[in-house]
Amino acid sequence: MREITIFSGSAHVELAREICHHLEVPLSPTTIRRFGNDCLHVQLNANCRESDVFLIQPLVPPVQDHLMELLLMLDAARGASAARTTAVIPYYAYARSDKKDASRISIAGRLVADLLATAGANRVLVMTLHASQVHGFFSVPTDHLNALNVLAQHFRNRDLSNTVVVSPDLGNAKAASHFARLLKVPVAAGSKRRVDDNKVIIDTIVGDVEGRDVIVIDDEIANGGTIIEILDRLRERNVRRISVACTHGVFSGKAIERLGSQEDIDEIVATNTVPIPEEKYLPNMTVISMAPLLSETIRRIHNGESVSSLFADA
């Protein structure tokens, strides 16, 4: 393969530029527009014949438009005789649809994975899937990254002697345990029941958090309901310093308003896998760039080097 060629959809051009800066390659231009009948038109405006092509597009709102852009870019790269095409999806929104938990519904996480392969993806690169089993939905080689080392590095510069990592639910407890091992602190988890998409109930917390500093970690924060609920339970146990961390800061609906009203949150830490507009920034919010990790992963994929070694416990 001759060289790395990188294109971006319209979902997160800023992240794509950062990745290209770290790789010291140009971001190749893309034209995306709509026809009069509302159909999308996508054109890759750089030669990619026999190139190792990477298409960067998180599935952020409007999710359907950005998904369709990615599918059209994949098909365009295949038609342009790319040697290999990798879909780089920092946020795979449909990972939350990972099981059939009601009658006559689609397992959309698997369906979208099939669409990506059909459209021309030879490889997929994703970050922190909502459920690890979604990795198995992809029929092409898939690299599943996580942000735990990056987030842990952020917290290592503080006194952690009285700190506990808290997972809002048992489903995220494995990732929280890994995060706690990186920080060399204990872990606790909430027992959560989801009533509907906007409401959850956390009955109790498993683990000792009484009078401790806590870092609440989740894979994503959407409307913020789960975080608010776990904070209510933690306050009942007289916790002290409260920090909240996540990989995907979606912050939909009234999430920012809800989080902003929690005056005892010391810090909210997210990554830039999802673009966070300025109007959603809170005074206590820190956004960590994932461009160094994503660019190094792209470099290793291109050179045929190990990706898993990036995630050895540090």
Residues forming the active site: 192
- Cα–Cα dist 314/310, whole Å: 10
d(CA 298, CA 301): 5
Alpha helices in the chain (DSSP H): 13-23, 63-79, 108-119, 148-155, 173-183, 225-235, 255-260, 291-303
Query: What does the alpha-carbon distance between residue 26 and residue 20 come to, in Å, rounded to a whole number?
Result: 6
The C-alpha atoms of residue 40 and residue 65 are separated, in whole angstroms, by 8
